Amino acid sequence: VDPIELPRTKERLEKLGYGSDILTIKHMNFSKIDHIVSEAGPLDFVLADLGVSSMQIDNPDRGFSYKNEGPLDLRLNPDKGISAAERIKNITKDELEGMLWENSDEPHADAISRAIVYEIKKGKAIDTTTELRQVIANALRSLPADTRDDEIKKSSMRTFQALRIDVNSEFEVLYEFIEKLPTSLAKGGRVAILSFHSGEDRLVKKSFQRYYREGIYSEISPTAIRASAEECNANSRARSAKLRWAIKA
């Protein structure tokens, strides 16, 4: 869905030998998997990586990270929808608190949502990543000194995640995708989904279990597969990754 990173990814893959003769790249949301099936027929294997790429996170102009100064955008496709800054301009405290709970399991959802809505009602614009991080830091300033900095860091990360999931409708898109999988896979076809958040993993787990009980999937992963300690040491962003798979009957 990202029109900025797609051409860069295409160029990088071509240099690795994956040219247009063996690889077809589509600028399309994976919730539209049925469009691919209508062109190519039932699929033998599907791998879905639900994570945001490092290229997106490390680009301050995209506003994905609380660590870098940039516009509070968070859209995977900046040409569609509204930015995170626009999203929170008229949000209620209850709506924002619910978003933080549902999208990131944020334990300080009440304090953070209260602080953000208070600042906006005072007329303060929260248009940049650093402005949002500062509001979060102020909301948690009463925490014990020995844990405060770490809690602010974690809550900033979770708040940015919750807003990103919301502005990109990520749960809705994922649900549409996994519900289309049974009719998109060929007999014996396999699907593997890599998620990075408990909410995503729950959706995938419940869908796989339901279709397994109904006999549509012949096998599913009994538990989520996690990255090894060695892999996590090499790539810290793998710590939250969970992989689940299913095979169509």
Residue 29's domain is classified under what CATH number?
Answer: 3.40.50.150
61 located within any domain: no
* pLDDT score at 2: 73
Distance between CA atoms of residues 31 and 207, nearest Å: 15
- Whether this prediction's pTM lies above 0.95 is answered by no
186 located within any domain: yes
* pLDDT score at 204: 97
Residues whose CB falls within 8 Å of the CB of residue 107, separated by 6 or more in sequence, listed in order: 155
Residue pair 108/114 in contact (Cβ under 8 Å)? The answer is no
User: Which H or E element spans position 107?
Assistant: none
* pLDDT score at 77: 87
Same-domain pairing of 142 and 197? no
C-alpha closest to that of 84 among 153, 152, 136, 159: 159
SS3 content of the chain, % helix, strand, coil (to 5): 55, 15, 35
Residues whose CB falls within 8 Å of the CB of residue 20, separated by 6 or more in sequence, listed in order: 14
Distance between CA atoms of residues 219 and 170, nearest Å: 26
Residue with tokens 């029109």: 3
Rg (CA), the chain: 20
185 forms bridges with which residues in the sheet? 43
Last residue of one domain, picked from the residues 115, 145, 167: 167
Kindly give the confidence (pLDDT) of every residue in the chain, 249 residues in length, as a single tens digit, with 9 standing for 90 and above: 677 778 888 888 899 999 888 988 888 888 999 999 999 999 999 999 988 776 777 777 787 888 889 999 999 888 889 999 999 999 999 999 999 999 999 999 999 999 999 999 999 889 999 999 999 999 999 999 999 999 999 999 999 999 999 999 999 999 999 999 999 999 999 999 999 888 999 999 999 999 999 999 999 999 999 999 999 999 887 888 999 999 999
Phi, psi of 210 (to 5 degrees): -65, -45
* pLDDT score at 87: 96
Last residue of one domain, picked from the residues 146, 167, 188: 167
* pLDDT score at 1: 62
Structural domain count of the chain: 2
User: Could you list the residue range(s) of the whole structural domain that residue 17 is in?
Assistant: 5-52+170-248
* pLDDT score at 205: 97
The b/e string for 55-84 (b: 16+ C-beta within 10 A; e otherwise) is: ebbebeebbbbbbeebbbbbbbebeeeebb
Residue pair 97/158 in contact (Cβ under 8 Å)? The answer is no
Q: What is the CATH number of the domain that holds 144?
A: 1.10.150.170
